Homo-oligomer: A and B are copies of this chain.
């Protein structure tokens, strides 16, 4: 756990507006942003820089359709770690996050320890990941794979 909003009052309504706008369109020009929230461009710039430093904005990314980069198969893999190796979860998940196919890692409560959102070129690659990087590992007690038919972002 790094640093969290210890002080939510650190973000005023203008900051929240900026975050909302940038979440929708991460490329909205600073110019337009400033006018949209009612402050000067220069001020807007310093605010956004601050939001980045605080960690409120973790980064800017293009939303690339996996299908277009040769990864049309998506899946959510639920992974259960062997109870006698729970303390190794961190490093393990870290290494998983390094696999190109892995798009998200969700550490969750419940019968599984984390969910892996992956995108692969074909089911064969998917299987390879499951058998070689997960089930084949002495850390993993079990997995459950769910194909993703469609993935939609919220609004």
Contacts and interface: CB of A to CB of B under 8 A. Distances in A.
A25 B155 CA distance: 22
Q: How many copies are assembled?
A: 2
8 contacts: A5-B72, A56-B64, A59-B62, A60-B61, A76-B115, A97-B154, A101-B154, A117-B154
A91 interface: no
Interface in A54-76: 54-65, 67-70, 72, 76
Q: Helix, strand, loop or mixed for chain A's interface?
A: mixed
A71 B23 CA distance: 14
Contacts of A147: 108-110
Interface of A: 4-5, 8, 11, 16, 19-20, 22-27, 54-65, 67-70, 72, 76, 93, 97-110, 112, 115, 117, 144, 146-155
